[in-house]
Amino acid sequence: MPTFVYMTRCDGCGHCVDICPSDIMHIDKTIRRAVNIEPNMCWECYSCVKACPQNAIDVRGYADFAPLGHSVRVLREEEKGTISWKIKFRDGREKNFLSPITTKPWGENIPKLGDLEVPDQSALDSQLLCFEPDALNVDTGLPVISKDKLKEGVYY
Amino acid sequence: MAKRKTVWEDCDILVVGGGMAGTGAAYEARYWGRDMKIICAEKANIDRSGAVAQGLYAINCYMGMQWDENQPEDHVRYARNDLMGLVREDLAFDMARHVDSAVHKFEEWGLPIMRNEESGRYQREGKWQIMIHGESYKPIVAEAARNSADKIYNRIMITHLLMDEGRENRVGGAVGFNCRTGDYHVFRAKAVIVGAGGASHIFKPRSVGEGMGRTWYAPWSSGSAYALPIEVGAKMTQMENRIVLTRFKDGYGPVGAYFLHLKTYTQNTYGEEYESKWYEHTKAMVGEYIDHTPTPTCLRNHAFIEEVKAGRGPIHMVTMEAFQDPHLEEIGWENFLGMTVGQAVVWASQNIDPKYINPELTTSEPYVMGSHATCSGAWVSGPEDISPPEYFWGYNRMLTVDGLFGAGDTVGGTAHKFSSGSFTEGRIAAKAAVKYILDMGNEKIQVSNKQCEDLKEIIYKPLENYTVGRNEITRVLFLQATYYLFKDSNVLKKLWMNIVAV
Residue among A70, A33, A74 at smallest CA distance from A51? A74
Residue of B nearest to A1 (CA): B210
Please state, rounded to an integer, the average pLDDT across all residues of chain B: 93
Domain that holds residue B153: 6-241+367-440
Cβ of A142 within 8 Å of Cβ of B383? The answer is: no
Please state, rounded to an integer, the average pLDDT across all residues of chain A: 93
Query: Is residue A50 assigned to a domain?
Result: yes
Cβ of B31 within 8 Å of Cβ of A113? The answer is: yes
B375 and B358 share one domain: no
Strands B38-41 and B151-153: parallel
B18 to chain A, closest Cα gap in Å: 11
B264 and B400 share one domain: no
Contacts of B239 (CB under 8 A, 6+ apart): B226, B368, B376, B377, B412
Please say if the pLDDT value at position B446 is more than 50. Answer: yes
Query: Is residue B416 assigned to a domain?
Result: yes
Nearest to A21 among B49, B77, B109 (CB): B49
Instruction: Kindly list the residues from chain A whose CB atom is less than 8 angstroms away from the CB atom of residue B112.
Output: 99-103
A61 and A120 share one domain: no
Kindly indicate the confidence band of residue A65, based on its pLDDT and cuts at 50, 70 and 90. confident
CATH code (residue A2): 3.30.70.20
Query: Is residue A107 assigned to a domain?
Result: no
Nearest to A62 among B207, B219, B341 (CB): B207
Q: Is B176 helix (H, G, I), strand (E, B) or coil?
A: strand
Report the pLDDT value the prediction gives residue B480, as an integer from 0 to 100: 63
B235 and B253 share one domain: no
Structural domain total, chain A: 2
Cβ of A127 within 8 Å of Cβ of B45? The answer is: no
Kindly indicate the confidence band of residue B45, based on its pLDDT and cuts at 50, 70 and 90. very high
Residue-wise pLDDT for A139-149, tens only, equals: 999 999 988 87
A9 to chain B, closest Cα gap in Å: 22
Cis before residue A2, ω within 30 degrees of 0?
no
Query: Is residue B395 assigned to a domain?
Result: yes
Residue among B416, B36, B361 at smallest CA distance from B193? B36
d(C-alpha B416, C-alpha B72), whole Å: 12
Query: Is residue B193 assigned to a domain?
Result: yes
Please say if the pLDDT value at position B146 is more than 90. Answer: yes
Query: Is residue A58 assigned to a domain?
Result: yes
Q: What share of chain B in percent tops pLDDT 90?
A: 88
Query: Is residue A46 assigned to a domain?
Result: yes
Contact B23, B423 (CB under 8 A): yes
Mean pLDDT over residues B361-388, rounded? 95
Q: How many CB atoms lie within 10 A of CB B398?
A: 27
For B402-463, the DSSP string reads BTEEE-GGGB-S--S-HHHHHHHHHHHHHHHHHHHHHHHTT------HHHHHHHHHHHHHHH
Query: Is residue B496 assigned to a domain?
Result: yes
Query: Is residue A12 assigned to a domain?
Result: yes
Query: Is residue A48 assigned to a domain?
Result: yes
Please say if the pLDDT value at position B1 is more than 60. Answer: no
Query: Is residue A31 assigned to a domain?
Result: yes
B357 and B315 share one domain: yes
Instruction: Kindly list the residues from chain A whose CB atom is less than 8 angstroms away from the CB atom of residue B489.
Output: 22-23, 38, 41
Residue-wise pLDDT for A71-120, tens only, equals: 999 999 999 999 999 999 999 999 999 999 999 999 899 999 999 999 99
d(C-alpha B93, C-alpha B378), whole Å: 17
Active site residue A43: yes
Kindly name the residue from A40, A43, A44, A111 that is annotated as catalytic: A43
Contacts of B213 (CB under 8 A, 6+ apart): A2, A22, A38, A39, A40, A41, A42, A43, A44, B205, B219
Cβ of B30 within 8 Å of Cβ of A145? The answer is: no
Please say if the pLDDT value at position B3 is more than 90. Answer: no
Q: What share of chain B in percent tops pLDDT 70?
A: 94
- Here the ipTM equals 0.96
Mean pLDDT over residues B339-359, rounded? 96
Report the pLDDT value the prediction gives residue B491, as an integer from 0 to 100: 55
Query: Is residue B1 assigned to a domain?
Result: no
Report the pLDDT value the prediction gives residue B232, as an integer from 0 to 100: 97
B190 and B324 share one domain: no
Structural domain total, chain B: 3
Please say if the pLDDT value at position B481 is more than 70. Answer: no
B374 and B347 share one domain: no
Domain that holds residue A3: 1-66
Kindly indicate the confidence band of residue A156, based on its pLDDT and cuts at 50, 70 and 90. very low
Size of interface A-B (CB pairs under 8 A): 274
B358 and B312 share one domain: yes
Q: Measuring CA to CA, how many Å separate B69 from each of B66, B102, B485? A: 8, 17, 52
B113 and B183 share one domain: yes
Q: Measuring CA to CA, how many Å separate B299 from each of B64, B244, B285? A: 28, 11, 10
CATH code (residue B269): 3.90.700.10
Contact B144, B127 (CB under 8 A): no
Instruction: Kindly list the residues from chain A whose CB atom is less than 8 angstroms away from the CB atom of residue B74.
Output: none
B22 and B134 share one domain: yes
Q: Which residues pair with A121 in a beta bridge?
A: none
Instruction: Kindly list the residues from chain B whose CB atom is less than 8 angstroms away from the CB atom of residue A15.
Output: none
Q: Which residues pair with B105 in a beta bridge?
A: none
Report the pLDDT value the prediction gives residue B61, as an integer from 0 to 100: 97
Q: Measuring CA to CA, how many Å separate A56 from each of A3, A49, A68, B219, B338? A: 10, 8, 18, 24, 21
Kindly indicate the confidence band of residue A3, based on its pLDDT and cuts at 50, 70 and 90. very high
B14 and B162 share one domain: yes
Selected residue with higher pLDDT from B475 and A155: B475
For A24-58, the DSSP string reads -EEE-TTT-SEEES-GGG-----HHHHH-TT--EE
Give the H/E segment covering residue B468. Answer: helix B449-469
Report the pLDDT value the prediction gives residue B139, as an integer from 0 to 100: 97
B402 and B330 share one domain: no
Give the H/E segment covering residue B107. Answer: helix B89-109
| Structural domain ending residue among the three candidates B392, B412, B440 | B440
Please say if the pLDDT value at position B129 is more than 60. Answer: yes
Kindly indicate the confidence band of residue A64, based on its pLDDT and cuts at 50, 70 and 90. confident
Question: Residue B330 class from Cβ within 10 Å (0-12 exposed, 13-18 middle, 19+ buried)?
Answer: middle
Query: Is residue A132 assigned to a domain?
Result: yes
B284 and B381 share one domain: no
Mean pLDDT over residues A30-45, rounded? 94
Question: Residue B442 class from Cβ within 10 Å (0-12 exposed, 13-18 middle, 19+ buried)?
Answer: exposed
Please say if the pLDDT value at position A70 is more than 80. Answer: yes
| Structural domain ending residue among the three candidates B303, B334, B363 | B363
* Predicted TM-score (pTM) of this structure: 0.94
Q: Report the Cα B203 to chain-centroid distance in Å.
A: 17
